[in-house]
A and B are shown apart, each in its own frame.
Chain A
C-alpha cells in the first residue's frame, strides 16, 4: 500500500519536473510545444552516453543534462520558436511534431535504436523497508533521491517565481505583454530565459527518468502524451496545479497498473478525459483568470 503510494509520488514528481517546462510554454506563452519531450530525451541521452562512454559520475552528469538542453532550448527559441508565437495553434502543432520527428530520427542515427541501459551508482541502488504487513513501506533509494531532488527544485522554482525580480517580470510579461514591454521589461529576454530553463528542467527530468521510464529514440512520442496530460489536467496558471496533477496522475498510474494491470494506461487517459470534460481549463485554475 504505502510502497505503491511512495512509488506513485516518485513517478509523479518526475512527471512534474518533466512537464513543468511545457506548462510554462503552453500556459504562459500560449505555445503548444509538442516537442518538449525531445529536450527531455536530449538530457537522458547526454547522461547515459557520458556515463557509458566516458565514465563521468552520475552527479556530474545531472548539471550537464540540465545545461545541454537549456542551451539547445535557448538557441531554438531565438531562431525557430519566436516567430511562431503569434501563429495559429495548428501551425505550432505541426511545427513541433516536425521537430519531434527530426529528434527521433536524429537520436536513432547517432545513438542507435536500442533501449539505453542506465547504470546507477552503487549508493543509489539499495532499498529501505519500514513497518510490516499492509503498512509496509519499501523505499528504493533512487526513488527517494528523485523525490528529494524534485521537491527541492519545486521549492526553488516557487521561490524564483514568487520572490525574485525575474519572477515578477515573467508574471508581468505573461499577464500582459504590451504593458510589460511598455514598463521597460525586455519581454523577449524573459521568454528566452524561461524557455531555456523549461527545456533544461525537461533535460534534467529525462536524465533522472532514464532509469524509471526507459530511454530509446521513441521517447518524445511515447511520453509527450504524459506531459500533455499533466499540463492539461493541472491547468497552467500556477505551478501548484501541474504539481498536484502530476502527483495525482503518478499515483493513479502506479496504483492502476498494480491493482488492475489489465487496464494499464487506460485509467490515466480516461481520468484525463473526464477531468477535462468537467473542467476544460484544468483542475486547479485560478478563478477569474484571464482566458
Chain B
C-alpha cells in the first residue's frame, strides 16, 4: 500500500461539508437581521480554529491565546487609522504582527510542563494587556482605540450598518483559512503533529524534529488568531483592552472543548452554539450567563463530553 493512501483518503470531502459552507455563506442573505451576530460567530470560529491547531493537533495547552487575537486586532486598527484604510492590507498587517509575536513566543512553549506552559502563555497575554493599557497615547488605553474607519473590501464592497458586508468578509476569510488549516492537518506535516501530541518521546525517536514542528504550528496558529483579531477590530471599527482579556482566552478554550478538540469543525460548531446560547441567556443578565456557563463546564468535565452531549449513549452497553 502506498504510504500516503490513508492521508489522501482523509483528505476527501464528505458530502455534508460543501452543504455546510453553502449554508454558512447564505446565512447573511437569509437572515439579514442577524448579520452582526453571524459576523461575530465567524470571527470566533476562526479564533477557535487557530487554537485547535495547537491544542487539538499539537497538544499544547494555552491560556493566553488572546495575546495574538489582541495584537492582530490592534495592529490592524492602528494601520487602518494611521496608514491606509484598505481592509485586506490591514488584515495582512495584523496577521504579520501576530506571526512575529507567535514566532518569538513559540520559544516559550518548548520547555517545561503543562503548568509552566499555562503560566507562560497566560503571562504573555497579560504583558500585552498591560502594555496596551500603559501606552495609551498609541492605543487609547482603557478607553480603547476609537475612530477606525475602513475603506471598501476589494475597493467595491462598503461596510454597511446592518453588517452584511462584514459577515461575508469574515465568512469568506474563515472559509479560506479553514481550507488552509484542513490542508495542513491532513498533510504529512499534520501527521507529525499528531504523533507529537500522542507521544512526544516516540515522535522524537522516529526522527520528527519536535521542537521545530511545535514552533512552526504555534506561529501558524498565532497568524490565524491575529487574522481573527484583525477581522474583529475591522468589522467593529473599535479596538479595546478587552481584546487581550483573560476571559477571551478562556472562552475560546471553552468553545473548542464544547465543539470537540482535534476536529476542525469542532471550533466552528462550538462557536456558533455558544454564541447563540450566550445571546439568549445574557439578554437576561451577564451574571447569570457566567453561572450557567460555569455549571456547564463543571458538568462537562465530571460527566464527560461524549456522555453529556450525546445522552442517548448512556443506555447503550458499556463496550468502551
Which residue in B130, B297, B302 is a CB contact (below 8 Å) of A101?
Answer: B297
**Nearest chain A CB to B263 CB, angstrom units:** 15
Which residue in A97, A225, A266, A276 is a CB contact (below 8 Å) of B131?
Answer: A266
Name the residue of chain A whose CB is nearest to the CB of B114.
A89
Q: Are B287 and A108 in contact (CB under 8 A)?
A: yes
**Nearest chain B CB to A223 CB, angstrom units:** 12
Q: Do A102 and B291 contact each other (CB < 8 Å), given the known contacts A266-B134, A273-B108?
A: yes
Which residues of the partner chain B approach A101 to less than 8 Å between Cβ atoms? Answer: 290-291, 293-294, 297
Q: Are B111 and A273 in contact (CB under 8 A)?
A: no
Which residue in B108, B126, B127 is a CB contact (below 8 Å) of A277?
Answer: B108
Q: Are B134 and A264 in contact (CB under 8 A)?
A: yes
A14 at the interface (CB under 8 A from B): no
Which residues of the partner chain A approach B133 to less than 8 Å between Cβ atoms? Answer: 264
Interface hit among A80-88, A144-152, A153-161, A176-184: A80-88
A117 at the interface (CB under 8 A from B): no
Which residue in A263, A270, A276 is a CB contact (below 8 Å) of B119?
Answer: A276
**Nearest chain A CB to B181 CB, angstrom units:** 20
A26 at the interface (CB under 8 A from B): yes
Q: How far is the CA of A135 from the CA of B130 in the complex (A)?
A: 32
Q: Do A32 and B114 contact each other (CB < 8 Å), given the known contacts A94-B257, A105-B287, A265-B130?
A: yes
Which residues of the partner chain B approach A13 to less than 8 Å between Cβ atoms? Answer: none
Contact size range, B: 35 or more
> How many residues in A have their beta carbons less than 8 Å from beta carbons of B?
45
A91 at the interface (CB under 8 A from B): yes
**Nearest chain A CB to B198 CB, angstrom units:** 13
Q: How far is the CA of A89 from the CA of B111 in the complex (A)?
A: 17
Q: Do A94 and B113 contact each other (CB < 8 Å), given the known contacts A80-B302, A270-B127, A273-B124?
A: no
Given A99-B294, A225-B122; 12 other pairs, CB 8 A cutoff: A32-B114, A80-B298, A93-B61, A93-B253, A98-B301, A102-B290, A102-B291, A264-B130, A272-B120, A277-B111, A281-B112, A281-B113
Mark A residues whose CB is within 8 Å of B. 26, 32, 80, 83-84, 87, 89-95, 97-106, 108-109, 113, 221, 225, 228-229, 232, 262-266, 269-270, 272-273, 276-277, 280-281, 291
11 A–B contacts from the bound complex (CB under 8 Å): A93-B63, A93-B118, A105-B288, A106-B291, A263-B130, A265-B130, A269-B127, A273-B123, A277-B107, A280-B112, A281-B112
Q: Which 7 A-B pairs have the closest CB atoms?
A: A98-B297, A101-B294, A280-B112, A105-B291, A102-B294, A95-B301, A266-B130
